[in-house]
Structure 1
Amino acid sequence: MSFKNLNLINPIIRAVTEAGYSKPTPIQHLVIPYILERKDIITCAQTGMGKIATFVMPILQLLKKYAPEHVNIRTLILTPTRELAIQTEENFGIFSKYLPISQLSIFGDASAGSQLAALRKRVDILVATPSRLLDLINQRHIDLSKIEVLVLDEVDVMIDMGCVNDVKKVLKLVPKKRQTLFFTARMSSNIRAFAETIVNNAIEITVNPLPSIVQDVQQPVYMKKGKNLSAKIQII
């Protein structure tokens, strides 16, 4: 299986190849075709499986089908952390190398002046942490009324961090007619209930998910003086 088999356009395949990727991961193989069909997606998969590229590549292709003179934000990706926002923007930059598409990430620790300056230019794809996004919306610097694709990434982490209320506020500001892509590393009953309130006839795909509650893990801890202890760690 190659990226060509996923019906990706040549500019994306060229950028992917130059970035050193030769074949899609299992999650990319399963999910990308449905995104290209403009289906809503609920995906449960662990971090480190190529999940970001799973939505980056098809989103770039969907946006490419429209006229390049679009001036509104057309895709919104909500992420829980600064680090993930930066990583996502970097992926868009790599794979859009041969496409006339722009992207920007915004988060709380960055300079407000630099973010506002970037927002005055054309931004096709906005990657944001929920709280920072709401701050700029309340200051009337961002308009989400033309969003075509909404991505909620690492939803389980957003819920753990208490971001879900901010996410719900954002959901009220995006068009109801949109494509929604929902990604989580584990699928608890409350995460599923939340997903079902925001997607429409979604395709659900699960690839090696994390359990909702991980059993006790025995892990050795090595001390500097050479002694080792057996630490019992409870992971929730």
Structure 2
Amino acid sequence: MTKFSDLNLDPRVLTAIEDAGYETPTPIQEGAIPPALTGQDVLGIAQTGTGKTASFTLPMITLLSKGRARARMPRSLVLAPTRELAAQVAENFDVYAKHTKLTKALLIGGVSFGEQDKLIDRGVDVLIATPGRLLDHFERGKLLLTGVQIMVVDEADRMLDMGFIPDIERIFQLTPFTRQTLFFSATMPSEIERLTNTFLSNPARVEVARQASTSETITQGVVSFKPTRKDRAFSEKSAMLRAMITREGDGLRNAIIFCNRKLDVDAVAKSLKKNGLNAEPIHGDLDQSHRTRTLDGFRDGSIAFLIASDVAARGLDIPNVSHVFNFDVPNHAEDYVHRIGRTGRAGRTGVALMLATPSDDKQVAAIEEMIGQPVPKIDAPEVPKARSRTRSRTADEDAVPAADAAPAESAATETASDSPKEETPKPRSRSRSRKPAAAPAVEADAPAAPSAEPEVAAPEPERPQAERSQDEAPKPSRGRSQRKSSSRRGGSNDKSGDDVVGMGDHVPEFITRSFLARSPS
């Protein structure tokens, strides 16, 4: 069996490896380190969790042990698709280079440019960066890539998914043609293969596992789930997830739960915390300090459930993850391999479970076709029915018919109140509650002709004929809500306080008033 001591690594690197507790290299390390030490380009293809980071970190430290970095001109460059993966590479470098004097700088978003500029100005041997932040520093004139001797592209297929390929091509063009390139990926889509053919020179191809295969140490399963109603799909799915967590029992120490959308990441985390589970979300919209604290808490055990988008699906080496749950079936089959690869790492066993609805059948079929085996179907756990949730659902169901009945009742009441034949009892009861009962000033029947001796009244100023005819024209009947608002405003024609019930049952007061005739001048 090959040991690290057989790979011609620097003695100081071997001491660091021994301090870390490793004795034998993984297949990808055993295949990639020897050609990398000779200066040859390497194309590494291996499933996630097989130790690809050490495959390029160990030979890089050995090759850079001689020489000195110059200001703003790093000697090597490592590109990673996400901040978390870049930070993880930096941690690995610290572990394996602790007995050397090599320096590093980490260029990722969410961190001050000023602090990163200071590190670059002093000169670094290893520059670890995400593509966007690296180009930001270059365009600001703070960085030169002409001194790069070794260039590493990690998780290249994830770079493709995130749209970084144009940036990668530009960065390649900014580095010397004589550089050594180490290219690692879990899968090899056609676009990635085109990139390797363009920028790698006669690489040593190291493929230790069939592309897109899953680790044999991971127990997989899928639970078929059909929501009762579309508007309850998320709540019922969340309850099913909690039931699956409960069923795993003591075997579940911690877990990463993957969702397709950032909005669902927050919602699932809130649901789990509401039900007493120690869960925190992590996705690209959170600031870097928050994401770092969350990952640190998950690593040290203070957080049991990490609810994540695909930002955490690639390359994160979080040891001792016992379970991975796919709350959503991934949209791309390749993401399934990366997601479940967060468990069962470094020879450990793990469990990967997935929730699938009937609408996910095509995605599940694509996953099974890619990994070359069916995902075992397991029985859905029994979901306990909480009382409070049952009452809430019953109340909601009861509210629907009541809401439907309300408009019909309102319409019937308005129709009765507007009827010219008879008056409904409701308006009378409301008027009695507002004022003492009194005989109406005018009977409901048609009014008699004005008396011969009219009552003397002060003359009103003469108005135009068009205006008088408009005021004296019969007004249309009004609905209940309009009559009520008119009564509240205390209109001048509503002196008695009674509700106006319509022209058929009531004669407006202005019709019964007497006016003095003006004598011709």
Change (3 A) 1:209 1:128: farther
Match of 2:242 among 201, 224, 228: 224
Residue 99 of structure 1 corresponds to which residue in structure 2?
A: 100
Secondary structure in 1 matching 2:174? coil
How far apart are residue 159 of structure 1 and its match?
A: 0.3
- Structure 1, 35-44 or 219-228: larger mean CA deviation: 219-228
1:40 matched to 2:41: yes
How far apart are residue 108 of structure 1 and its match?
A: 1.2
The one-letter code matched in structure 1 to 2:119 is A
Change (3 A) 1:187 1:98: same
Secondary structure in 2 matching 1:140? coil
User: Contact 1:186 / 1:209 at 8 angstroms: preserved in 2?
Assistant: no
How far apart are residue 218 of structure 1 and its match?
A: 6.0
Residue 131 of structure 1 corresponds to which residue in structure 2?
A: 132
Change (3 A) 1:35 1:219: same
Residue 167 of structure 1 corresponds to which residue in structure 2?
A: 168
User: Contact 1:42 / 1:204 at 8 angstroms: preserved in 2?
Assistant: yes
How far apart are residue 67 of structure 1 and its match?
A: 2.8
User: Contact 1:130 / 1:163 at 8 angstroms: preserved in 2?
Assistant: yes
Give the TM-score normalised by structure 1: 0.90
Deviations 1:175-199 (A, max 9, x none): 0111011111001222111111000
The one-letter code matched in structure 2 to 1:219 is V
Deviations 1:77-112 (A, max 9, x none): 111000110000111111111111111111112222
User: Contact 1:185 / 1:209 at 8 angstroms: preserved in 2?
Assistant: no
Q: Give distance in 2, aligned partners of 1:225 and 1:95.
A: 42
Secondary structure in 1 matching 2:122? coil
How far apart are residue 210 of structure 1 and its match?
A: 3.7
Structure 1 segments unaligned to the other structure (5+ residues)? none
Change (3 A) 1:220 1:170: same
User: Contact 2:69 / 2:125 at 8 angstroms: preserved in 1?
Assistant: no
RMSD over equivalenced CA pairs, Å? 2.2
User: Contact 1:150 / 1:180 at 8 angstroms: preserved in 2?
Assistant: yes
User: Contact 2:47 / 2:212 at 8 angstroms: preserved in 1?
Assistant: no
The one-letter code matched in structure 1 to 2:159 is M
Deviations 1:43-95 (A, max 9, x none): 1112211110110000111111x334655311001110001100001111111
Residue 314 of structure 2 corresponds to which residue in structure 1?
A: none
Residue 9 of structure 1 corresponds to which residue in structure 2?
A: 10
- Structure 1, 78-87 or 220-229: larger mean CA deviation: 220-229
The one-letter code matched in structure 2 to 1:160 is D
Q: Give distance in 1, aligned partners of 2:158 and 2:47.
A: 12
Residue 67 of structure 1 corresponds to which residue in structure 2?
A: 67
Q: Give distance in 2, aligned partners of 1:209 and 1:103.
A: 34
Change (3 A) 1:223 1:182: closer
Q: Give distance in 2, aligned partners of 1:206 and 1:225.
A: 39
Q: Give distance in 2, aligned partners of 1:69 and 1:198.
A: 25
Q: Give distance in 2, aligned partners of 1:69 and 1:52.
A: 22
Q: Give distance in 2, aligned partners of 1:172 and 1:225.
A: 52
Change (3 A) 1:95 1:225: closer
Change (3 A) 1:218 1:140: same
Secondary structure in 2 matching 1:224? helix
Change (3 A) 1:148 1:114: same
Secondary structure in 1 matching 2:202? coil
Q: Give distance in 2, aligned partners of 1:143 and 1:197.
A: 22
User: What is the identity percentage for the equivalent residue pairs of Structure 1 and Structure 2?
Assistant: 36
How far apart are residue 135 of structure 1 and its match?
A: 0.4
How far apart are residue 225 of structure 1 and its match?
A: 5.6
Secondary structure in 2 matching 1:77? strand
1:180 matched to 2:181: yes
Q: Quick check: which has more Rg, 1 or 2?
A: 2
